[in-house]
Copies of this chain bind each other. A is one copy, B any other.
Amino acid sequence: MTKERAFFESLALKEKGKLCPEHVPEVYHFDRTMSLIGMRYLEPPHIILRKGLIAGVEYPLLAEHMSDFLAKTLFFSSLLFRSTTDHKRDVAEFCGNVELCRLTEQVVFNDPYSNHWTSPYLDRDVEAIREDNLLKLEVAELKSKFCERAQALLHGDLHTSVMVTRKSTQVYDLEFAFYGPMGFDIGAFIGNLILSFFSQDGHADETNDRKGYKEWILKTIENTWNLFHHKFTALWNEHRNGAGEAYLPAIYNNPEVQLLVQKKYLTDLFHDSLGFAAAKMICFLIILRRIVGVAHVEDFESITDAAKRATCEKRALDFAKILLKERRKFESISEIVSAIRQI
């Protein structure tokens, strides 16, 4: 890790820790000269969420905890809660974390669609993506939001940076943090759960057909968004007359207009989240599992039967394409769950 990375990681850990201490490990000490972060040890039985999902372990509080983390950290770092002065100051500071932002940009929005990127595993499905002009148009829109829109302080790499027990959920690895579109964090988490869903058939065996587990994943996807929606809206209502400058109470001054702006904000955020979920899924399926040393998609790699693995991957890729291109047609998370079932 370069020094810059440790600085931004500790800064983001402290910021997000203030906003949601229940789900962010405490930082005890940061030494900039030594690039040293002293922080809470996530003791056993905490394990990386991905490992738990592959093992088929249910985490009954996961949706409750992650919706809490997302609602609080995104709401409190946005213009719904803050003044434009504070916002611009912090945006400027996190602009310094450009090196890791570029890495995300490249891996999520460039490499999967680039003809410069060759792979021995390249097959017809991947080729089809690279020839799909309408899909690339959608990717361009998402990339533009990622690069240009400073909506809230994001984790920036939420796909796997979650450690869990049945009672605790802790979000760590914040070195990719920056001000960006909220949907990028929500989408990363939901996209990861969708990938896990499609990988489960490859992990089924005679002792466990994983059918019940797949239902739990779908329920967790649905609950995460619905609880997030509920909590985010509640925070907005609670702080409506506070310092947030996006919707001043002197202007948004009647129940009808308040409902209108909330509905529009959350519908746009829902569609952003679906788009980023799809982009992350495609990135994982096409790029990350080919690179040594970068985050892996163990969900699929750990399926030993190659034919089974290919079937799982193809279904995940097919769904990601639908999600990317047709996300604006979906009005609720339950429609997404139905669409997942239909693949």
Contact = CB atoms under 8 A, between A and B. Distances in A.
Interface of A: 79, 84-85, 87-89, 91-93, 95-96, 98, 101-102, 105, 110, 113-117, 130, 133-134, 136-137, 139-141, 143-144, 147-151, 245-248, 250-254, 256-257, 260-261, 264
Contacts of A95: 88-89, 91-92, 95
A254 B96 contact: no
Contacts of A93: 92
Contacts of A139: 251
A260 B84 contact: no
A253 to B, nearest CB: 6
Given A92-B95, A95-B95, A257-B133, A115 B250 contact: yes
Contacts of A250: 110, 114-117
Contacts of A261: 136-137, 140
A247 B79 CA distance: 29
Contact of A136 (B133, B144, B150, B251): B251
B92 A105 contact: no
Contact of A246 (B101, B143, B252, B264): B143
Nearest to A247: B140
Contacts of A245: 105, 147
Q: Is the interface of A mostly helix, strand, loop or mixed?
A: helix
A98 B89 contact: yes
A114 B88 CA distance: 23
Contacts of A98: 84-85, 88-89
A150 B179 CA distance: 11
Nearest to A135: B257
Contacts of A141: 264
Contacts of A256: 133
A260 B101 contact: no
A209 to B, nearest CB: 40
25 contacts: A84-B147, A87-B147, A88-B98, A89-B95, A89-B98, A91-B91, A92-B92, A92-B96, A95-B95, A110-B248, A110-B250, A114-B250, A114-B251, A117-B250, A136-B251, A136-B252, A136-B261, A137-B261, A140-B252, A141-B264, A143-B246, A144-B246, A147-B245, A149-B150, A150-B150
A294 to B, nearest CB: 19
A41 B98 CA distance: 40
A147 B116 contact: no
A256 to B, nearest CB: 5
Top 4 closest pairs, chain A to chain B, by CB: A92-B95, A133-B257, A114-B250, A92-B92
